[in-house]
Amino acid sequence: MNTHWSSVNTRWTLVIPVKTLVAAKTRLAAATGPHRTRLAVAVACDTVAAALACPPVARVVVVTSDPAAAGPLGALGADVVHDPDRGLNTALRTGAAHAARLAPGDAVGALQADLPALRPAELALALAAAAEFDQSFVPDALDVGTTFYGVRPGMPFTPRFGGESRAKHLAGGAKELCVPGIDSVRRDVDTPDDLRAAMALGLGPHTAAVVADLWPA
């Protein structure tokens, strides 16, 4: 931990990568049918909206090459930059470089785009914990992947998303954040079971509207 950095009132730029919609949420295809791409946009919209509503977050940078996602996310207030389509971590580094140009004094975090139950207050708890360390991450609900990775201002931004990214981030020296009360930050959605777990936490309005069409009461 860098003891020379004050974590009080740390401002964050969050980088959120959004896949091309044809490749998004393929493991939900059987459950969602023709609504799959609509669901992917809705989930990303709820993630971005919650992030923008989180007080420590100064801005959100969305990295995508899909105009069908760029339009709605930009309308919410995200700063959209083009994804070079060379993998997730390259997309994140592209967004982080843009963030550093916009606000070099801000901390930078990578946040997965598939957190439809995300609560601004829970994200704020995670960011407050992250501000205590040079680099840190939040594991997903299964303790296999990662939903958030962040660094303090001026620190190297070296995300290691993909596969068993929890182990990769640990091996890279990032501090694992074991913060109580941040279930919505850890609940990413890749499968129908994930979506049901997110529903139990309470979905954001965009995702809830799509789910209501999928499974009418």
- Is 151 part of any domain? yes
With cut-offs at 50, 70 and 90, classify the pLDDT of residue 6.
Answer: low
Task: Say if residue 212's pLDDT is above 80.
Answer: yes
pLDDT at 4: 43
- Residue 162 assigned as binding residue: yes
Residue in this structure with the two tokens 């998303």, named with its chain if needed: 161
Could you tell me if residue 1 is inside a domain? no
Q: Does 160 map to a domain?
A: yes
Residue pLDDT, tens place only, 114-154: 999 999 999 999 999 999 999 999 999 999 999 999 999 99
Global pTM exceeds 0.75: yes
> Can you read off the two tokens belonging to residue 104?
């070099």
> Considering the domain boundaries, does residue 216 fall inside one?
no
What is the Rg, in whole angstroms, of the alpha carbon atoms belonging to the chain?
A: 16
| Residue 108 pLDDT grade (very low, low, confident, very high; cuts 50, 70, 90) | very high
Segment 180-208, tens digit of pLDDT: 999 999 999 988 899 999 999 999 999 99
Specify if 135 maps to a domain: yes
Stretch 159-167: mean pLDDT, rounded?
96
Q: What's 80's domain CATH number?
A: 3.90.550.10
Determine if residue 184 is labeled as part of a ligand binding site: no
Question: How many structural domains compose the chain?
Answer: 1
Domain membership of residue 50 as a residue range: 12-211
